[in-house]
Amino acid sequence: MGIGWPQLLIIALVILVLFGRGRIADMMGDFGKGISSFKKGMSEEENTSSKPSAQIEAQAKDAATSDSKPKSDAAATNGNDSAN
């Protein structure tokens, strides 16, 4: 009970009458441009995906070194408080 070739042909003719040959060609051209733009964006994303991870790792290292510095400052402050 699927759609056969005669039904698809009738549907295609109705669409052609409603939109016209020029409008359908414009829509298909825009659709093709969208697909190519999507593929281009995906390939650019793959090329740049390694860069942010390196930046994140560098930021994590910076955060780790900055976390260790305040701990030593806090220890020095605690030592001064006990002396007073």
Question: For 1-26, b where at least 16 C-beta lie within 10 A, e where not — what string?
Answer: eeeeeeeeeeeeeeeeeeeeeeeeee
pLDDT in tens, 14-69: 998 998 888 988 989 999 999 999 999 888 877 766 555 666 777 777 777 776 55
This prediction's pTM: 0.41
pLDDT value, residue 33? 95
H helical segments located in 2-49: 5-19, 21-48
- Please answer whether residues 16 and 24 qualify as being in contact, where contact means their C-beta atoms are separated by less than 8 angstroms: yes
- Please answer whether residues 46 and 38 qualify as being in contact, where contact means their C-beta atoms are separated by less than 8 angstroms: no
- Please answer whether residues 15 and 24 qualify as being in contact, where contact means their C-beta atoms are separated by less than 8 angstroms: yes
